[in-house]
């Protein structure tokens, strides 16, 4: 019996074949703009690229237009595809956070999170500490997360975290779902990697 192999696509930057889920799909919108399609649901022809700055920049030298069967001119008007991909991954991390809340797997607020960490936490969870948290609270939560062996990221502001949860600003959120925690970590990792090399945020 043949094993079902995951779908594989070729990166238009480095030319390597990789599993589709490890690549970003890029489409050309009807208005002639290159846009990342993280969900892979845009009906237009798609081309793939590794979520790495070097691959995106390489793909922009020509192969991306060829794979999309569009005029090379589209690459001149592509704006900053690196930044758009990074923003899309950041947005994905925030929607995952909303998803965690909807399924009752996100706790937020300093005292609630501290209490949960004291009662016992899983190493597969994820802490999201606001980067604009007050130094005292930040220090306290960092210690509590470290003591509980819960990995954490400081990527979002209190407003970002609150908005993603449909609440007022939050200093910390604890994601208590292994799958969602992993997907958020991956999104943030890709956001960072895609801005490597020549990203306009530098």
Residue numbers of the site for Zn ion (CB under 5 A)? Answer: 11, 13-14, 50, 55
Q: Are 114 and 141 in contact (CB under 8 A)?
A: yes
**Nearest residue (CB) to Zn ion, 124 versus 197:** 197
* Rounded CA separation 198/202 (Å): 7
Structure tokens at 70: 């569009």
**Nearest residue (CB) to Zn ion, 78 versus 150:** 78
- Return the half-sphere exposure (C-beta side, CA atoms, 13 A cut-off) of residue 32: 8
Minimum CB distance to Zn ion, residue 8 (Å)? 13
Minimum CB distance to Zn ion, residue 113 (Å)? 38
**Nearest residue (CB) to Zn ion, 75 versus 130:** 75
Q: Are 21 and 50 in contact (CB under 8 A)?
A: no
Minimum CB distance to Zn ion, residue 16 (Å)? 6
Q: Are 97 and 195 in contact (CB under 8 A)?
A: no
- Return the half-sphere exposure (C-beta side, CA atoms, 13 A cut-off) of residue 123: 1
Minimum CB distance to Zn ion, residue 11 (Å)? 3
**Nearest residue (CB) to Zn ion, 107 versus 193:** 193
Minimum CB distance to Zn ion, residue 49 (Å)? 6
**Nearest residue (CB) to Zn ion, 48 versus 152:** 48
The residues, ordered by sequence, that sit 6+ positions from 11 with a Cβ below 8 Å of its Cβ are 17, 18, 23, 48, 49, 50, 55, 59
Q: Are 162 and 169 in contact (CB under 8 A)?
A: yes
């Amino acid at each position: 019996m043949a094993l079902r192999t995951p779908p594989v696509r070729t990166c238009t930057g480095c030319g390597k074949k990789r599993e589709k889920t490890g690549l970003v799909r890029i489409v050309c919108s009807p208005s002639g703009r290159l846009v990342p399609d993280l969900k892979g649901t845009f009906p237009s022809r798609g081309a793939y690229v590794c979520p790495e700055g070097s691959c995106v920049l390489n793909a922009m030298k020509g192969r991306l237009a060829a794979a999309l069967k569009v005029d090379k001119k589209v690459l001149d008007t592509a704006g900053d595809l690196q930044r758009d991909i990074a923003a899309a991954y950041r947005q994905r991390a925030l929607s995952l956070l909303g998803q965690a809340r909807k399924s009752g797997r996100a706790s937020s607020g300093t005292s609630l999170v501290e209490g949960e960490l004291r009662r016992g936490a899983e190493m597969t969870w994820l802490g999201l500490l606001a980067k604009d948290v007050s130094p005292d609270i930040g220090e306290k939560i960092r210690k509590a997360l470290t003591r509980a062996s819960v990995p954490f990221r400081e990527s979002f502001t209190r407003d970002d975290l609150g908005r993603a949860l449909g609440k007022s600003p939050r200093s910390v959120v604890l994601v208590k779902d292994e799958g969602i925690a992993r997907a958020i970590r991956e999104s943030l990792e890709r956001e960072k990697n895609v801005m490597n090399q020549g990203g306009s945020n530098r």
